[in-house]
A and B are shown apart, each in its own frame.
Chain A
Amino acid sequence: MLKFLKFPIALLLATACLAASAQPLAEADTARLEQRALHLAEQLRCVVCQNQTLADSHAELAQDLKRELRAQLASGASDQAVLDFMAQRYGDFVLYRPPLKSQTWGLWFGPLLLLLLGAWILRGVLRQARAGASVEDDDEKLRKVRA
């Protein structure tokens, strides 16, 4: 939690300090831009080291892509435009949040399906266990009656 807050607090302090300086707006803009860039880089996969985000990766291509990403944001591109730019070139694979389309249905709904399957199996098992238990109860009673 503390770590999570560290960056926004630092940012807040930085902007507060800068508010007194000559060009407070430009600096605040830069900070906001930097934050947006970081947020986007965390949602994109590095294609060179495929288990890292762009934000984490130090691969040369990742550095280039981060620079490109920043430049696009600075020239007024929306977050979605930047994500589209990356996906158009490197494929949906680079999006850590894959878009919902027919090829990704399995990805989005597969886990839910597995959960339902699990619930259904569990129900069967419980029902059988209960039936088994009641048979044992009956056996017990029968033995008592006979005794």
Chain B
Amino acid sequence: MKAPAIRRALPLALFLALAVLLGWGLQLEPDQPLPTPLLGKAAAQFELPLVDAPEQRFAPPRELRGQVWLLNVWASWCEPCRAEHPLLKELAQEAGVALIGLNYKDAQGAEWLRQHGNPYRAALLDREGRVGMDYGVYGVPETFVIDREGRVRLKHAGPLSAALLEAKILPLVRSLREE
């Protein structure tokens, strides 16, 4: 019998390898956002009425062609949207970015904006969530960065954070503006 010591150590080694693998699995973010298949693809065309002026309609991405813009999906019933709201106001100050709101499956959006302030260049009402479907929205809030050509370049599921804005979103927006 050759190298019996190795053979005897094998189960222990396998066990340790498995333990390390499972331990690593535990360290992973439990609910990582789903990867979106939309990256690099043309953002879906839509036309919706403004939340605060239903007689007016707006049709991105066509009407925003040549601009870098952000689509922020939000709703008055969504708690985390309150949390990211101050950041959106800050973001709206950033020159050269059009912040567009998509008021997802909501009826109280206008009231909410009056109460908390409206950071959006245009807040659009997606009453039935049909536009949200075209953007693969599966939770609120979500934020998309769309380039001058109307392609989706980033999707973030969940509330924005100051760190994320500084580290990822603003640098991306600035570089897209240069493109």
Residues of A within 8 A of B (CB): 47-48, 60-61, 64-65, 68, 87-93, 132
Q: A48-B138, A48-B139, A61-B138 are in contact. Are A91 and B133 (CB under 8 A)?
A: no
Nearest B residue (CB) for A61: B138
Nearest B residue (CB) for A64: B129
Alpha-carbon gap, A85 to B118, bound state (A): 33
The answer to the question of B23 belonging to the interface, with a C-beta cut-off of 8 Å to chain A, is: no
Task: Give chain B nearest CB distance to A45 CB in angstroms.
Answer: 10
Instruction: Tell me which residues across on chain B come within 8 A of A87, comparing CB atoms.
Output: 37
Contact with A along B1-25 (1 / 0, CB 8 A): 1000000000000000000000000
The answer to the question of B38 belonging to the interface, with a C-beta cut-off of 8 Å to chain A, is: yes
Nearest B residue (CB) for A67: B128
Decide: A47 and B138 in contact? CB cutoff 8 A: yes
Instruction: Give which listed residue, A48, A89, A93, A132, contacts B133 with CB less than 8 A.
Output: A89
Q: A89-B37, A89-B136 are in contact. List 17 more A-B contacts (CB 8 A).
A: A47-B34, A47-B138, A48-B139, A60-B105, A61-B129, A64-B128, A64-B133, A87-B37, A88-B37, A89-B38, A89-B134, A89-B135, A91-B34, A91-B35, A92-B37, A93-B34, A93-B35
Decide: B37 and A91 in contact? CB cutoff 8 A: yes
Instruction: Tell me which residues across on chain A come within 8 A of B134, comparing CB atoms.
Output: 89
Alpha-carbon gap, A92 to B38, bound state (A): 12
Nearest A residue (CB) for B44: A89
